[in-house]
Every structure is written in C-alpha cells, then in structure tokens.
Amino acid sequence: MKRNILNYTLPELELIVKELKEEKYRAKQIFTPLHQKHISHFKDIKSIPLAFRKKLSENFYIGSLSSLLISDSKKYNTKKFLFILPISDTKNNEEKLKIETVLISEKGRHTICISTQVGCNVGCEFCATGKMGLKRNLETSEIISQVYEVVKATGLAPTNLVYMGMGEPFLNYKNLIKSLTIFTSKDGLNISSRRITVSTIGLKNKIKIFADDLSKKENQSLRNIKVAFSLHSTDNGIRESIIPTSAYNKLSDIYEELTYYYKKLRTKITYEYIYFNGINNSDDDIKRLERLSKMVPCNFNIIPFHPIDFHLNKPLDVFNKLDKGKIDERNEISLLNLGLNDFIAKLKSKKIIVNLRSSSGVDINAACGQLAVIN
C-alpha cells in the first residue's frame, strides 16, 4: 500500500531513502520541493533522476486536502476554509470527514489557525467543536496540508501559526511534534518557533513532557514555541462545570507544569480567558488572576464569548436567553460581553499584562470557539 510522503520529517525521509538504496542527500532534494514549493506530483522534482521519481511513485503518494468552501468575512480580513480529508472513515466510502482552518490577516501579519483533530472529546461547554465529539486525530500530513492549501489559495505566506483550531493538540501529540518539526525545518517552511503557539486546555503531565521534548538537542528548532493555556476560570468548581476534563486535571497541577515549562525554556506563558459575565469576572477572580500573573512571566488574552448554535448547560445556560433571531450581531455580542472593558481595566490596574483578542471572523463562525462541522 502506498504511503503519504507528507507524513515524514526530513530525518525519517533520510531513512526511507536509504531503504530505497539511494544516497542520503536525496532526502533533502525531496523534502524541500514538498514543503517549500508544495508540489503535487513527483514528476515535478527535477533534481532527482527519473528512475528515482518512478520508484517514489511506486511506493508513495503526495496527499492533499480538498477545499470545499472558502468563507470571507465582511467585517474582518479573515477567511475560513472548509477542507475534506483524503481518507474516509465511513462505511462504503460514502462520506469523508471535514475540518475547518482560519486565516487572519491584520497589520502585515498572516496567522493561520490550525486544527489537529476532527472534532474534540474534551467537551468544553462554550466550544462548538467540543459539541461535535471526536471523530479521529489528524495525520501529520493533514495538519501541515492545511497551511499549504491556504498558501496555494491565497498566495500569502504565513507569518504566524497557532494550533487553536479544532481539537486538543496534546491529544494528538506525536503528530503535533512531527508537524512542528516540519514547519520549523530550514529545508521546509522554515517558520521561526517564536512565531508558533500551541494552545491546550491543560492535561496533566503533557505540558511537562512538551517542555522536555522541546529541550532536546535534536529539537533545537522548536525551542521557542509558546504555550497558551486555556484557563477561563480560576475557580476549580466553575472550571470543571465548563471544561469536564478539569476534574482530572486540577489547576494546581497545571500551574506547576506551566512553571516548569517557563523555567525549562524561558518562554513567557499565555493564559487564554474567555469572558463570561457574572461567572468569571468577580473581585475574587481578579485577585486570583493577579496572584497567577506573579507566578511566572506571562500575559493574559481576554477573549469575548462568541455565540454558538448549540444549547448551553449550566452555568452558561444564562446565555441561552439571548434571542439570536431578533438581535443583530453587533448588539448580541455586546450583550454577551457586558462589562468586558471594565474587567480588562481592573486587571490592568493590578499591573497584569492584558490583551483583548479581537473577534475576527465572528460573522462567518470563524472566531474562538465557533469552529464546527456537523454533517
């Protein structure tokens, strides 16, 4: 059976080339066209002999994602891509799985928001992807191809990559690491690790393992990757009610791992905090956030709560009362986020480094928490 050659890092390709009785340097001659020029056929690799191209074609294929739909925001310079996966997981191959990817362009930056799973089994109450459940993990090729297909469609080279799309990256750990290795390779896309962020809901031991792996000599190109922790509440009880897996991943344990990550890599931690008016914006919340801000160098991204087309359970059920059919989008968002600016002002008064994350793409369901493919 032929294998997708985009699933392999350069060191892995070197082993494959050796198995095919070819010289080691041929691996780079394959890797670079694949990941810099995004070629679709082996015949386009002119730097290798015809006989070797034929040998590759007999054993491998260059997989790709098919773009079903590109949605353009009318308010923001944001595009959402709906991709169909090349591998079917349904009976009789009647239907293929789909994922969503987002391109946000602002102030000369082109940030691609990448998915790592089809759906997600973490089950965050506020997240449309979590309402899908988990279909399967993405292969390495499917993770990196999102970026390559966006580049092909837009002609824009990414300046930043964020693993904040569909899925929990640390639950697809092996392919996460491989995709990061490919993206940062000087013979591939060659994106600086300083421009890559991996977001996680917080799974015990995963952040520590990630820090240890990024510290390895062979992973020097990954060393400056940022971790964004999806916090959303400093109260264990509230957090467990909106993020079910928090019951097994206590905040105290995750805080210890984030401290370990900083001490190991000296990379500032980012805390993601969706604003839920009346739920996570009390004076006590502010005090706990202030203490947290002093633990290690960090910044807080405050995110407006974006509406999703699903019924919300307690304690977020209070937001079900908004009549989405009668309230225009601008007013709806302001009602969902009453007091947001005051909350940010209070945090800043405590000398906390705070950023308000924009709602880029909210009109096309491309903002934080809105990605979902329901067949």
Annotation marks residue 120 as catalytic: no
Distance, in Å, from the CA atom of 375 to the CA atom of 370, rounded to the nearest integer, reads 16
Q: Is 368 a catalytic residue?
A: yes
Q: Which of 113, 124, 127, 368 is catalytic?
A: 368
Read off the amino acid at residue 184: T
Q: Tokens 């928001």 appear where?
A: 113
DSSP codes of every residue in 281-328: -SHHHHHHHHHHHTTSSEEEEEEEPPP-SSPPPTTGGGGGGS-TTTS-
Distances (CA, A) of 145 to 141, 176, 189: 6, 13, 12
Q: How far is CA 250 from CA 14, 132, 145, 296, in A?
A: 42, 24, 35, 18
The Cα-based distances of 344 to 57, 273, 280 in angstroms read: 56, 11, 12
CA 302 to CA 340: how far, in whole Å?
9
- d(C-alpha 312, C-alpha 315), whole Å: 8
Tokens of 328: 């225009």
Return phi, psi of residue 260, to 5°. -60, -45
Q: Which of 22, 100, 139, 272 is catalytic?
A: 100
- The crossing angle, in degrees rounded to 10, of helices 206-214 and 251-265 is 10
- Cβ density class 198-232: b for 16+ within 10 Å, e for less: bbbbbbeebbbebbeebeeeebebbbbbbbbbbbb
* Active-site annotation, residues: 100, 368
